[in-house]
A and B are shown apart, each in its own frame.
Chain A
Amino acid sequence: MLSTAQIVALIIFILMFVAIVMDKIERQWVTLGCGAATLLIVFGLIMKSPATILESLNVASIFHRDFWITSEAESASIGVNWSTIIFIAGMMIMVEGMAEAGFFRWLCMRIAKLVNYKPTPLLVSFMVMSFCLAMFIDSITVILFLAAVTVELAKMLKFDPVPMILSEIFCANLGGSATMCGDPPNIIIGTALHLSFFDFVSHTGLIAFVCMFLVIGYFYMVYRKELATEEVTAEDIAALPDPKSAIKNPKEFTYACVIFGCAVAMLVTHAQTGLTVAFIGTFVSALTMILFHKDLVKIIKKVDYKTLLFFVGLFIVVSGLEATGVLEILAGFIGKVSGGNLKVMIAIIIWLSAIASAIVDNIPFSATMVPVIRALAATQGVDINTLAWALAIGTDVGGSATPIGASANVVGTSVAAKNGYVISWGTYLRTALPATIIVITVSMLIIFARYC
């Protein structure tokens, strides 16, 4: 029997999910409103626990040394995950600086030129580029630039950009699953369970890498007829802009490359240096703000503060479920259904995450599931990391299945539509849904083979 606090926390959580899906109110106001309700009603009125309110807000954690220089202990199990928020904010600032310098457009145009703008190599190279960039940069930015350049090339070379955009979206989501910083669910999972960049690369990264080859083959097979009909003439190529034209200011472009290089180096070595993702995010954003001080106001204005507020509210709502023990009940249920069998637990987590992420936002889902797998590992005596890999792959890749499953999908279809290229639900599902099912199935089998 659920207690009053548990029932109210659950109602608030369900209301938040429904409101996010309905998309009538901006999602940051939804989570902040529900977060405020959790603090006031669940923790304040029902539990009468000011200590839980403070614990949920978790502001004190920022002032601990462990927040900036890592320790072996896991981060706070309850409350706002400020590491995730600070890291994402820092990366947003860095990415805006890079975009301002013309880095992404230059990279896309340069690679297109390298493959002589031929349709099949263009498809494959853009898929690989999407995968690789999404390992370090948020998939929204990756797709924003890739899709824009794809449309530009499509207009000049007279080909249909939709197959390429769909392939790029899928690879961006897949690439995001390969690293700790690739996709917000991974940052949430990584910071909460104290996993390193290399933990992700050597586990989810390996799975994503194998699946990337599968996906390239799959999309090539699906679109080979469209690609075969597209011919590029010398006149078409001559009309295209030089990649160098994307670089507005060579000095700023060099800065962007250096900052990006620093971010990658710091992320790759953070297990050795002990620097946390919060530190890395703060460092690269500070570096960007110093080196791009001329465009500082412009860069700051472009930071997506709405997403950051969304995270704050979300973590508070999830802490309501965690503090009242609702998530332990869910973990107990999964444990009971699986009968303590690790393979069944993995299958439940990966498919549940994939299906849920295809329909609703994968960020609230992963934030909710982290305490669940923690409780599941504690009660069933299974390796928490194995469950974490299943959760990461499920949430990251599951979002690829539908046009609303992940942010990259929304941005990619939007860029196409704004330019008069239709990606309907039917068009999207026809290729992305089978690809998602293939990747999730293969990932599950790899996890079974490697960890069970």
Chain B
Amino acid sequence: MEKQLIVAIGREFGSGGHEIGERIAKQLNISFVDRSMLDEMFSGNGKHKEQIEKYEEDVAKPFLHKHVRGFTNSIEENLAEAQFEYIREKAASGESFVIVGRCGEAVLRGNENLVSVFVLGDMYDKIHRVMDKYSLPERDAIEKINRHDRKRKRYHNTYSDFKWGDSRGYDLCINSSKLGVRGTAEMLCKYIEDVRERK
């Protein structure tokens, strides 16, 4: 039986981190976990599944939540905890997978089968990728990138011991602008295979 492999990818918005993750999963023939985990976690919840998506990768709103005996009314916090539990269970099951975002590298920190990566990109490339993907003018693309990165940073830093994008928290940080999405994915696959062989 092949040894378990977990690849956790943190990413800047517009860096192509999500697509890189998909490519790695495809190339290594392992499953890919992103927002789609909600389908598995909450199948059969009807309208609530769509509603809960907007609370993903976010933090509790100040003054609007309270903690009582380990419980909180913050949907963001409850969802984050439920997702972390899902990630832990998936890892414990022995399955190999690539996980994008959701503090995957922080949740599974210490797991010997984990390879954690942070994907960043040059602002110019990120803007153009977002402009193409969402058909947005430049100004709106910049705003979207900044907004999403602020949100991801806040979310990550709330639940992790290390800062979002801090190289000390990942096995590898890579700028996708240098090799492009495809090239970066190929390079990372090679890196992951090498790491695997050394273990």
- A: residues with CB less than 8 A from B are 21-23, 26-27, 140, 155, 158, 160, 162, 304, 306-307, 403-404, 407, 409-411, 413-415, 417-425
Please state if B68 and A411 are interface contacts (CB–CB under 8 Å). Answer: yes
Main secondary structure of the interface of B (DSSP, over half): mixed
Whether A403 touches B44, Cβ cut-off 8 Å, given contacts A414-B78, A418-B82, A425-B64, is no
Known: A418-B81, A420-B42, A420-B45. A407 touches B64 (CB 8 A): no
- 14 A-B interface contacts by CB (under 8 A): A22-B62, A23-B66, A27-B67, A140-B69, A155-B44, A403-B73, A404-B65, A407-B68, A410-B72, A411-B71, A413-B75, A417-B79, A420-B45, A424-B75
Q: How far is the CA of A420 from the CA of B75 in the complex (A)?
A: 9
- In the complex, A140 Cα to B70 Cα: how many Å? 11
Q: Inside 8 A of B81's CB, which chain A residues have their CB?
A: 418
A-B interface contact total, Cβ < 8 Å: 79
The reply to whether B44 and A404 form a contact with Cβ atoms under 8 Å apart is no
Residues of B near A415 (CB, < 8 A) are 71
Q: Which residues of A are found within 8 Å of B78, using beta-carbon distances?
A: 414, 417-418
Question: Which residues in window 34-69 of B have CB below 8 A to A?
Answer: 38, 41-42, 44-49, 51-52, 55, 62-69
Q: A21-B63, A22-B63 are in contact. Are A420 and B48 (CB under 8 A)?
A: yes
Instruction: Flag if A409 contacts B73 (CB, 8 Å).
Output: yes
Q: Of residues B46, B64, B78, which shows the largest number of chain A Cβ atoms within 10 Å of its Cβ?
A: B78
Known: A307-B69, A409-B73, A410-B67. 4 other contacts (CB 8 A): A22-B63, A23-B65, A403-B64, A403-B65
Residues of B close to A23: CB separation below 8 A: 65-67
Shortest Cβ distance from residue A247 to the other chain B in the assembled complex, whole angstroms: 25
Nearest chain-B residue to A421 (Cβ)? B48
Contact call A410/B71, Cβ cutoff below 8 A: yes
Min Cβ gap B11→A in Å is: 25
Is chain A's interface secondary structure helix, strand, loop, or mixed overall?
helix
Complex Cα distance, B157 from A53, in Å, reads 42
Contact check, A420 vs B82: say whether CB atoms are below 8 A apart.
yes
Closest 4 A/B residue pairs (Cβ): A420-B42, A417-B78, A414-B71, A404-B66
The answer to whether A420 touches B41, judged by C-beta atoms less than 8 angstroms apart, is yes
With contacts A410-B67, A414-B71 known, is A160 near B46, CB below 8 A? yes
Contact with A along B64-96 (1 / 0, CB 8 A): 111111011111001101100000000000000
* B70 nearest CB neighbor, chain A only: A414
Complex Cα distance, B73 from A407, in Å, reads 10
**Which single residue of chain A is at the shortest CB-CB distance from B81?**
A418
With a cutoff of 8 Å between Cβ atoms, the chain B residues found around residue A160 in the complex are: 46-48
B 160-190 to A, binary, CB cutoff 8 A, 1 in contact else 0: 0000000000000000000000000000000
Assembly CA distance A307 to B55 (angstroms)? 29
Taking CB atoms, residues of chain A closer than 8 Å to B62 are 22
Minimal beta-carbon separation of A90 from chain B (angstroms): 17
Whether B66 and A410, one on each chain, are in contact in the complex, defined by CB atoms closer than 8 angstroms, is yes
User: Are A410's CB and B73's CB within 8 A?
Assistant: yes
Knowing A420-B52, A421-B45 touch, does A411 contact B66 (C-beta < 8 A)? no
Considering the chains assembled together, what is the distance between the CA atoms of A160 and B51 in angstroms?
13
A141's closest neighbor in chain B, by CB? B69
- Give chain B residues whose Cβ lies under 8 Å from the Cβ of A410: 66-68, 71-73
Measured CB to CB, the closest approach of chain A to B117, in angstroms, equals 29
A409, closest chain B residue (CB): B73
Interface centre among B45, B55, B75 (most CB of A within 10 A): B75
Closest Cβ of chain B to A154, distance in Å, is 9
Whether B55 lies near A422 (C-beta < 8 A) is yes
Report the separation of the CA atoms of residues A155 and B46 in the bound assembly, to the nearest whole angstrom.
11
Neighbour of A422 across the interface among B51, B63, B66, B67, CB < 8 A: B51
- Contacting residues, chain A, for B55 (C-beta < 8 A): 422
Q: Which residue of A lies closest to B49 (CB)?
A: A420
| Cα distance, A424 to B48, chains bound together (Å) | 11
From residue A407, how far is it (CB to closest CB) to chain B in Å?
Answer: 4
Chain A residue contacts of B79, Cβ below 8 A: 417
CB-nearest residue of chain B to A407:
B68
The minimal Cβ–Cβ distance linking A311 to chain B, given in whole angstroms, is 14
The complex places the Cα of A21 from the Cα of B73 at a distance, in Å, of: 14
* B64 contact set on A, CB distance < 8 A: 403-404, 425
Report A441 CB to chain B, min CB distance, Å. Answer: 26
Q: Which residue of A lies closest to B50 (CB)?
A: A422
Q: Whole-angstrom distance between the alpha carbons of A201 and B99 in the complex? A: 56
